[in-house]
Amino acid sequence: MILVLLAVAAGGVCDLPEPAPTPDAASARAYLEVGDAELAADSAATALVAYREAVRLDPANQRARSAYLSACVGHHRDALLADGWRLMDAGDCRGAIDAFRQLPGDPAAALYEAICRYQEGDDDEARPLLRTALAAPAYADRARYFLGLIELRDRSGNDAAELFGEVAAAGGPLAERAEVLRSAALRSGRAVVGVSLEPGYDSNVNFTPDNLPGSDDFGVGGELWLSLRPLGLSGPYLRANAYYRRMRQATDNDLGFATAQAGYRLGRGETYAFGDYAYEATTLGGSPLLYAHRLRAGARWQIRRFAFSLVYALRIGTYQTADTSAFSGNAHFLTPEVSYRLPLGSSVALGYSVSRDQTTFVDTSSWEHGPRAAVRWAFRPTLRSGIEGGLFFRSYDAGIQQAPGARFDAIRSLSAYLEQDIDRVTVGLAAGVRNSVSNQAAHTYTRVTATLGATYTLSLF
């Protein structure tokens, strides 16, 4: 408070009044008493009038000076804070920061300036302000919460998880949200490893047409992955993963892939751009199926609760088997999406994807496009579900000799999941159905899958 008092006084907001031509100590005492009574009656504005007059009439009266400065600071503090909040509500964070900066050392002003700084992406400016706010019990939870957000954005997952854990344990109004973020923080970091195990059922392992006996089977999938973001969320990133799904009977459909990816993200907030390169090797039945280079570039814009994203991807693939080699070529994907964010991390998204698979041959080159919609719903901070559906139309450039008409597939897909976070483990139940209707009977099929999996994620640093 002393800091604030001195700062405001030094800043000219609470200059001492010009002394009266003739000092009047007796009247000054009366004004002082009136000021004290008004302050006791919670009427700071009237108290300020009285104290100011007391100082004017008796500048040497230390009690009057300190009472005046204290009342003045309190009066202007409220006005400056209210002004800052109004500007924040109006979306003028720059203006709000100017208002809050007039109260240096004040925990409330520090907190709200830090929130503005955080919103503007100035995390380094926000950190010391939040530490100032932490000192005041009334603002400590909110300060911890925003420090957690900064650490999370900086990919310091363990630090963020600890801060969110404290906010959640305090049980205040931010507790529920903090629990959600703690769960996310436990799974994020500058270096994160994860392992998952996922037994499941597949009703149609080899995409048998609907009019033929099915090829259902059970299998177990496992994945190991590593993610590195040495400079935090904004900056370079590396990711590697390996996946293998072993089928109980149809082992010729055992699927495996390994990917190594390097990229760069620009932007720590919800608005960012990125670009990356990945190399992917896929095996089927233990034999190489596809080697592919993948390039991606994209951007996301967040405007209040709405976000718009656009991602372009290029896959340069070489299929390794005789049956599939004709599908080698370049595939381009363009995916625009609009999403709306709801409380607790719930969201609704609508997108439309367009892709062009350009191979050497017309009968394996195709266009695909169609809409998709996804809903993610958080029942509790650590329990969520999601449902996603899409309708895609794939048309090949030409038919083959045995079936001269160009192949056309209409593909419908629907999937849903339910996930529960238990500390660093996520247990998930997922199910999906995919139905393809083609003008060529061999490509009309239905496939249902269901899995029950568990993932363990560890943030190394």
With a CB cutoff of 8 Å and minimum separation 6, the contacts of 261 are 237, 238, 239, 240, 276, 277, 278, 279, 294
Q: In the numeric block, which tokens belong to residue 60?
A: 């040497």
Is residue 43 close enough to count as binding other proteins by CB under 8 A?
Answer: yes
By CB under 8 A, tell whether 96 contacts other proteins. Answer: no
Can you tell me which of 7, 8, 53, 174 binds other proteins, judged by CB under 8 A? 53
Give yes or no for residue 258 binding other proteins (CB under 8 A).
Answer: no
CB of 103 to other proteins, least distance (A): 23
- Could you give the angle at the alpha carbon of 153 between the alpha carbons of 241 and 133, nearest 5°? 155
- Enumerate the H helices of 90-217 as residue ranges: 93-100, 107-119, 123-134, 137-153, 157-170, 175-186
Measured over the CA atoms of residue 187, residue 376, residue 90 and residue 336, the dihedral's sign is: positive
List 6, 16, 30, 297, residue binding other proteins (CB under 8 A): 30
- Residue with smaller CB distance to other proteins, 27 or 208: 27
User: Which range touches other proteins (CB under 8 A), out of 23-31, 152-160, 189-197, 422-430?
Assistant: 23-31
User: Does residue 41 touch other proteins according to CB under 8 A?
Assistant: yes
- Closer of 37 and 427 to other proteins (Cβ): 37
Q: Report if residue 14 touches other proteins, rule: CB under 8 A.
A: no
Asked if 50 is part of the footprint of other proteins (rule: CB under 8 A), the reply reads: yes
Residues contacting other proteins: total by CB under 8 A: 16
Minimum distance between the CB of residue 235 and other proteins, rounded to whole angstroms? 56
Near other proteins by CB under 8 A: residue from 46, 241, 259, 444: 46
Of residues 2 and 40, the one with the C-beta less far from other proteins? 40
Contacts (Cβ under 8 Å, ≥6 apart) of 34: 50
Q: To the nearest whole angstrom, how small is the minimum distance from the Cβ of residue 455 to other proteins?
A: 57
What the block records as the tokens of 159 is: 């630090």
Should residue 34 be labelled a site residue for other proteins when binding is judged by CB under 8 A?
A: yes
From 47-55, 274-282, 316-324, 351-359, span contacting other proteins (CB under 8 A): 47-55
- Residue 440 lies near other proteins (rule: CB under 8 A): no
- Least Cβ distance, residue 8 to other proteins (angstroms): 20
Measuring CA to CA, how many Å separate 64 from each of 2, 52, 72?
Answer: 16, 8, 12
SS3 readout for 280-325: EEEEECCEEEEEEEEEEEEEEEEECCEEEEEEEEEEEEEECCCCCH
**Closest approach of other proteins to the CB of residue 74, in Å:** 15
Cα separation of 224 and 240, whole Å? Answer: 8
Query: Shortest Cβ distance from residue 86 to other proteins (Å)?
Result: 22
Please choose, out of 44-52, 79-87, 110-118, 380-388, the segment that lies near other proteins by the rule CB under 8 A. Answer: 44-52
Among 7, 14, 31, 190, binds other proteins (CB under 8 A): 31
Evaluate whether 131 touches 162 at the Cβ level (below 8 Å): no
The neighbour count for residue 117, using CB atoms within 10 Å, is 23
Stretch of 38-46, 171-179, 323-331, 352-360 lying at the interface with other proteins (CB under 8 A): 38-46
Of 27 and 395, which has the nearer Cβ to other proteins? Answer: 27
Query: Least distance from C-beta 76 to other proteins, angstroms?
Result: 16
Which residue from 6, 9, 16, 49 is in contact with other proteins, where contact means CB under 8 A? 49
In the 8-state DSSP scheme, what is residue 16?
A: P
DSSP string, 190-225: SEEEEEEEEEEEESBTT---TTS--B-EEEEEEEEE
Q: Cα–Cα distance between 209 and 348 in angstroms, integer?
A: 34
End-to-end, the C-alpha distance of the chain in Å comes to: 38
> Which of these segments, 10-18, 35-43, 227-235, 309-317, binds other proteins (CB under 8 A)?
35-43
Specify whether the CB–CB gap between 28 and 50 falls below 8 A: no
- Interface ranges with other proteins (CB under 8 A): 26-27, 30-31, 33-35, 37-38, 41, 43, 45-46, 49-50, 53
